[in-house]
Each structure stands twice: as C-alpha cells, then as structure tokens.
Amino acid sequence: MSHFRAETVVTPRLRMNVWTSGPEDGIPVLLMHGNITTGGFWKYVAEALPGNVRVIAPDLRSFGDTEAKPVDATRGLADLADDIRGLLETLGLADRGVVHAAGWSMGGGVLQQHLLSWPDDFASVTLVAPLSPYGFGGTRGEDGEPCTDDFAGTGGGTAAPDFVRRLAERDATSADPQSAPRTVLMTYFGPGRNAAAVDEDFLVDELLKTTVGDDSYPGDATPSQSWPSVAPGTRGIMNAMSPKFFDTSALGDLQNGVPITWLRASEDQVVSDRSMFDLATLGEMGAVPGWPGAEVMPPQPMESQLRAVLDRYQANGGSYEEIVLDGVGHGIPLEDPQAVADAIAARLDA
C-alpha cells in the first residue's frame, strides 16, 4: 500500500493530524502510536497492509501535529481515548464494530481504555508491546498491587531531565548520546536490525514534535517520602500512565469481547517484566541509588500482568492470541512491520 499522507480532521474535541493510506471505502484499520512518537511511525506497517485497507493513524494529543490540548492525568488515558472516539464519530465509524484497531506501547493503553468505554467500536484489537493494564511502574505481582500508597517512582518526575530539556530544544543531534532524543529513539524505540529500511531523519523529526511541558510530556510531579522521592502529579502524559490513575484491569471482566492479538518482542527493553525504564529495575541494577529492595519495590512484571488480565478476558468469552517476535525490540512497527501487518490482516476476515 502506498500514498501514506497526513490530513487534518477537525472533531468536536480538537484538531487532529491523521495519517492515512488506502481506499476511502476500504476496511478501516485504526493505528495508535506510542509515547514520544506519532502516527507517522506507522508508515512501514501501512505499506505492508493489504491494498483493500483504509489506514487511519492519528497523532494523539501532545504529539505530532495534532492540537496540543492539556492532558488530565487523573482520568488515566481517557482524554486520548475520548479523542479517538470523537475521531471515529466524525468519520462515521463509531458503534459499527467494523474498525480493526492496533495500538503500540502507550497506544495499546489508549486502546484498552477505549475498549472499556466503547467495546462496540471495534471488530478486533491488536496490542503491540502495550502498556500494562496497571500502568507504568510502581506495582508488584500479576494483580498490580501498588508498591507504595502514593505510587512513588511513577509519573512525570521519572523522565530523564536532560532528555526532556533536549526534546524541548528540538535537538536532533547525537551529541552526548545518553540524553540525545535521536539516540534514545533509535536505541529503545527504533528499527533495530531493520534500520537500513527506514528514514531515521523522518522519525527524529516526528519525535521532536512532542509537546513538552506539565500539561503534555512528561507532566508534573510531586515529592514523595518513599524511594525514589518522586510521585505522580495530576497533569500530562507520564502521569496519565501512572498506576495511580491508569487501571484497565476491568478488561478481564468484559463479556464475549472482540478477538485480541498480543504481539510482544523477546528483546523489548521498554515493556517487559524487567523494563529498563522502570526505576525499580534501574535501582536493582544500582543505576538509581537507595533502592529499598525487591520486597518493597520490585521491577513491575508488565507482561505477566497483561497475560493475567487477558486470561480472564478469555475465560469470560473473549479470545486472545499471544505472538512472540524473537530477537526484536520495542520498536516492533519499525523493526518488523510485516509481522504487525500480518497480525492485523489475519483478523480482517475472521
């Protein structure tokens, strides 16, 4: 499929930049991107999808060229899910059960939140290295028990300050690589072994469109008496993914839900049972001083938590398939776009 292009769609909620391809009357496939990326990152998946598909890949609020309205983190990712609902209503696709949706990383969390509110919007769901149903960081065990009362170690204050500063400065260089947005993108969210087949500068340009601030990325923060001395605020994207506000574990209670495909990567360093972006993992490694130990703050078992919720989902009449991509990292839509396209296509006629 070709002609992947951006267009503006004005909904009752906000002005959205939406990447599209394929025939306007094609099978609608909604693609939701992850944190610090845009709908443009789906370009290579769109190219691999069948020619009868209509790709709809919006930039979510705070990202890309979509209107940068504030994110109320106390609603979890519901602001973003409501935006998607508004987009589907504007396009005449809401409540019809014809949209095949895929969400990567944070976008997978938005999809989970959307499913809880409007399960009849979708014909199938593909979760690509998605956010845990218990958010990012600060929980233990498959049932997402909070490690501390104030959800310390999660939210806007956990983002690396130098990275945030350089993101705000639109720094596209590779200087001082540990904090360079380009290096972070290509190392943790990028195409890996498929690097030669993607346009790195395009991806970096899209990354640098992220809106930086307390209302967007990463959000505000509050001090904590618990390690690592920071707890979530109430505004912005990172707080919206804190388990203090984000909990979609009720997905397991949905009755006769749509089929779900879960794509995960064996070498994922972002969403895993030992995420390199989880401060508990870094503390255990000695990279963040003062870690109180696994009895107090163990690494979050993100994949195990999702599996437990999906097992309940299946027991209540839904179905899911778990697919592991060996040797692949978190940037699945860039590193193995064909695998993502194949997983989505397998649901189109199901």
Would you state the pLDDT for residue 214? 98
Q: Which domain holds residue 87?
A: 5-348
Q: pLDDT by residue (tens digit) across 273-317?
A: 999 999 999 999 999 999 999 999 999 999 999 999 999 999 999
Q: Look up residue 179 and give its amino acid.
A: S
Q: How many structural domains does the chain have?
A: 1
Q: pLDDT by residue (tens digit) across 75-91?
A: 999 999 999 999 999 99
The predicted model gives 14-38 an average pLDDT of: 98
* pLDDT interval class at 350 (50, 70, 90): low
Please answer whether residues 33 and 65 qualify as being in contact, where contact means their C-beta atoms are separated by less than 8 angstroms: no
Give the rounded percent of residues in the chain with a pLDDT score beyond 90. Answer: 99
Whole-Å CA distances, 261 to 99, 127, 227, 320, 345: 14, 6, 36, 5, 11
Q: pLDDT by residue (tens digit) across 121-148?
A: 999 999 999 999 999 999 999 999 999 9
- For residue 124 the two structure tokens come to 């199938």
Looking up tokens 């006629």 gives: 349
Please answer whether residues 6 and 40 qualify as being in contact, where contact means their C-beta atoms are separated by less than 8 angstroms: yes
Would you state the pLDDT for residue 117? 97
* pLDDT interval class at 3 (50, 70, 90): confident
Checking if the pLDDT of 2 tops 80, the result is: no
CA-to-CA distance for 280 and 218, rounded, in angstroms? 19
Collapsing DSSP to helix, strand or coil, 166 comes out as helix
The predicted model gives 195-218 an average pLDDT of: 98
Q: Is the dihedral of CA 191, 185, 245, 296 positive or negative?
A: positive
Residue 251's nearest CA partner among 111, 100, 94, 121 is 111
Element housing 155 (H / E): none
- For residue 111 the two structure tokens come to 């999809």
Angle between helix 106-117 and 78-90 (nearest 10): 70
CATH number at residue 71: 3.40.50.1820
CA 18 to chain centroid, in Å, comes to 17
The β-bridge relationship of strands 5-10 and 15-21 is: antiparallel
Alpha helices in 49-120 (DSSP H): 78-90, 106-117
Checking if the pLDDT of 329 tops 80, the result is: yes
Element housing 332 (H / E): helix 332-335
* pLDDT interval class at 1 (50, 70, 90): low
